[in-house]
Amino acid sequence: MIEFFLNAYKDVSTAHIILEFIAFVFGILSVWYARQENILVYPTGLVATIISVYLLFIAGYLGDMMINGYFTIMSIYGWYKWSRKTEDSDNLPITRTNTKEKIIGIGLFFITIFVVFGIYKVFDYTIKTENYIDIIASGIFFTGMWYMANKKIENWTLWIIGDIIVTPLYAYRGLGMLSLQYLIFTILAISAYLEWRKILNKSNLQL
């Protein structure tokens, strides 16, 4: 296992490794803060996603790059949403998606798939089996990020599914640190779902 990670970086520059490590640390911090419903999820997430966009652009993984580019935009949106006061509270409450939000989520999932697929075609990239997996994961993550910005508990279900999909994908591509990061993301996402469900149930009992 250790040899697998070391071999993936034997021909990589020191600067690249440092950047990937920074993205790795800040990405985990971001999920940890999200678990605790802490607004620091967004500034830490911005550091991770901006660096990841650059690294994935260099590697030529357009789908993954688009995911992180979208994460960057949604981090700014989520930061605004989480910091905005509501009529009844100083914070945006954790809630479940209603029918309208579920339909929007499904629509966002399919729109994302078509857009990412179209970009691969526009840039004349050969779409391999792994790229189709990447495209599906893009749809899951895009929807999950929108749900997170609106504090919908279903965001964690989508993160768990997406993380499970991309963990072996990054390992297959030789991106050991990213693969390990998403494995940790999976564990944190499960923990976060349980934590948010506890908060949501407590909130419902107080109504």
For 192-201, the pLDDT digits (tens) are 999 999 988 8
Which is higher by pLDDT, 85 or 119?
119
- pLDDT tens across 16-28, in order? 888 888 988 998 9
**H or E segment to which residue 207 belongs:** none
Q: Is 150 helix (H, G, I), strand (E, B) or coil?
A: coil
pTM for this entry: 0.82
The pLDDT tens digits of the residues spanning 43-66 come to 999 999 899 888 888 877 766 777
- Choose among 43, 42, 100: nearest CA to 108: 100
Tokens linked to 96: 């479940």
156-199 tens-digit pLDDT: 999 999 999 989 888 887 777 778 888 999 999 999 999 999 98
